[in-house]
Structure 1
Amino acid sequence: MGVEVVVEGLTKRFGSQTVWSDVSLTLPAGEISVMLGPSGTGKSVFLKTLIGLLKPDAGHVWIEGVDIAKCSRQDLYEIRKLFGVLFQDGAMFGSMNLYDNVAFPLREHTRKSESEIRQIVLERMELVGLTGAENKLPGEISGGMRKRAGLARALVLDPEILLIDEPDSGLDPVRTTYINQLFIDLNAQIDATFLIVTHDINTARTVPDNIGLLYHRHLAMFGPREMLLTSKEPVVAQFLNAQRVGPIGMSEEKDADQLASEEGIAMPPLPPLPLQIEPSSGIPRRGQRESGAWCRENGVVPPAGSFPERAYAMSLH
């Protein structure tokens, strides 16, 4: 079962450069959250700070009563056992076959026998669709297969928190669709707390229970998926709908002249909200909400075509 991650006032700098400051949010236990942001806004830095690979300059990260920003090395070592991490490129050992790559954490951190390790490794490889590829080297397989192998390795220690860094980078739209469904099915099965860093807007609109957006050295917004997808806050609306009009430019923030040139140009209307991907099993996940539930609870009328409008209107009464 996943655990809650509470971030309070987190600030990270490299020298005189502030990456982001005063970031506060809560990753709900067992739910899928996505972190978005223009390139260079420190999304990967945020993941590394959550797991203690980087120390923040201020703030706290609370996990099961332990502040990993301030705790001892021994406490950090124990807390890290709750995590599984999928890095951007899979981070496979090139000289090891996939079986040994996936088995590595079990051999390094447990006292399990080789027969126990074999059972776990084969189960996880089957889970990510890599049965039969155990003896292949990372250089012999596609980028998508390396990502799935990295995911299998992240799962072998039964993590309660899964951090996933740009799983869609280098993947075509079809493979991205498959891996998105895999995340939903995994969350339904293992009930871990997921945080996915991505640039893929379709992933952000259809996979998570919660969305966050880092922009201009701060957290612009974090909350339930429907809250951000219906937001008219310029940065959020521009990014989540991949629009040119808005405060984000080629160099992150548009200058005054660029913004002035857009005066009088209305931002395009928000598109319909897509349905969230459901588990293949048909059994709802813990964090899954009924489509339109957040909108109804908060009196927000979603863009036309988002849900069966008649059913939505009736539910308001």
Structure 2
Amino acid sequence: MGVEIQIDNLSKSFGKQLIWGNVTLTVPAGEVSVMLGPSGTGKSVLLKTLIGLLKPDEGSVVIEGTDIATCSEKDLYEIRKLFGVLFQDGAMFGSMNLYDNVAFPLREHTKKSESEIRDIVMEKMDLVGLLGAEDKLPGEISGGMRKRAGLARALVLDPEIVLFDEPDSGLDPVRTAFLNQLIVDLNAQIDATFLIVTHDINTARTVPDNIGLLYHKHLAMFGPREMLLSSEEPVVRQFLNAQRVGPIGMSEEKDADELEAEKDQEMPPLPPIPMQLEPSNGIPRRSQRPAGEWCREHGVTPPPGSFDGNMSMATGG
């Protein structure tokens, strides 16, 4: 089972430029969480802070009792063994074939024999559907295959936390759909904590258990998927439903004139909440909640047509 990430009052600046401040949330153990936000809001900076590549100006990131913002380099090295990271472009070594790329963390961080390494590498390549491609170089395969190879490498140390930095960037909608299904299937199999940074709204609406939104140098909201997909908070509603009307503009925040011009415009109605993507075998993940459960528990009426039109699931009727 994955481990919880407790983030408290986290702030990060580069020089005089505040990236985000007072970020507080708990990423639940074993669940899939997505972090959204307009371009330039520091989503990737947040991931780098969580693994200690960047030090925050204030606040704490506590994992299994260790605050990685203040711990020693030795303790940070040990905590990092809990992590697997899928970088935006796969970050593969171009001169190594896929097998050696995936084997690299095992050779660097363990004393396993080459025969043990081979068993693990082939197991992970099988998990991501790359058996038979282990002798290929990164330059000889598609972007989608490089993403899957990067994911196999992120999994070889059996991490309890897996971070995905825009896994869908550069992929067409079909490959993104396949990758999303793979992420859901992997979470069901390894039960690790997944945190995904993405711009893809369909991914955010169908894959995670929880959604967060960074906006205007702070965390606008973080919570269960249904909470955000039924939210009337303008910035959350605008972003999650890809609407033009709302506080977000081309330069992140609309100016006073833009807001004044649209003050009499009503925001479009909330679209239906889709069913959450399930594992391929049809067996719900441990953390997966029945459709409409959060809405029922909190007395929220979901938008018409939610959950494939089965409103009895959302209302208990």
TM-score bracket relative to the smaller structure: over 0.9
User: How far does the alpha carbon of each residue in 1:224-254 deviate from its partner, in whole angstroms, 9 at most, with x for none?
Assistant: 0000000010000000000000000000000
Residue matched to 2:282: 282
Match of 1:311 in 2: 312
Distance in 1 separating the partners of 2:191 and 2:305: 31
* 1:70-219 alignment runs, 5 A limit: 70-219=70-219
Give TM-score scaled by structure 2 length.
Answer: 0.98
Check 1:211–1:313 CA distance in 2 against 1; reply closer, same or farther (3 A cut).
closer
Residues in 1 aligned to 2:314 and 2:178: alpha-carbon distance in whole angstroms: 33
Secondary structure of 1:117's aligned partner? helix
Deviation at 1:312, TM superposition (A): 3.7
What's 1:69 paired with? 69
- Per-residue CA deviation, residues 229-281 of structure 1 (Å, 9 max, x unaligned), is 00010000000000000000000000000000001100000000000000112
Residue matched to 1:30: 30
Residues 40-51 of structure 1: pairs in structure 2 closer than 5 A: 40-51=40-51
In structure 2, the residue matched to 1:19 is 19
Distance 1:149 1:265 in 2: 47
CA-CA distance at 1:125 after TM superposition: 0.5
Q: CA deviation at 1:310?
A: 5.1
Distance 2:73 2:16 in 1: 27
- 1:8 match: secondary structure: strand
- More deviation in 200-209 or 124-133? 124-133
Identity of aligned residues (%): 79
CA RMSD of aligned residues (A): 0.9
Distance 1:313 1:272, change over 3 A: closer
- Letter of the 2:141 partner, please give it: I
Q: Distance in 2 between matches of 1:266 and 1:232?
A: 12
Whether the 8 Å CA contact 2:291–2:313 is kept in 1: the answer is no
1:267 counterpart SS class: coil
2:227 and 2:3 map into 1 onto residues whose CA distance is 23
Asked if the contact 2:301–2:314 (Cα under 8 Å) also holds between the matched residues in 1, the reply is no
Secondary structure class of the residue paired with 1:182: helix
**Match of 1:118, SS?**
helix
**d(CA) in 2 for partners of 1:125, 1:285:** 22
Cross-structure match for 1:242: 242
Which one is further off, 279-288 or 53-62?
A: 279-288
Matches of 2:190 and 2:103, distance apart in 1: 19
Q: Deviations over 1:69-121 (max 9, x none)?
A: 00000000000000000000000000000000000000000000000000100
How far apart are the structure 2 equivalents of 1:265 and 1:281? Answer: 45
- Structure 1 unaligned segments of length 5 or more: list them: none
- Taking the aligned partners of 1:135 and 1:3, their CA distance within structure 2 comes to 34
Distance 2:311 2:153 in 1: 46
One-letter identity of the residue aligned with 2:312: A
In structure 2, stretches of 5+ residues that fail to align are: none
**Structure 1 length as normaliser, TM-score?**
0.98
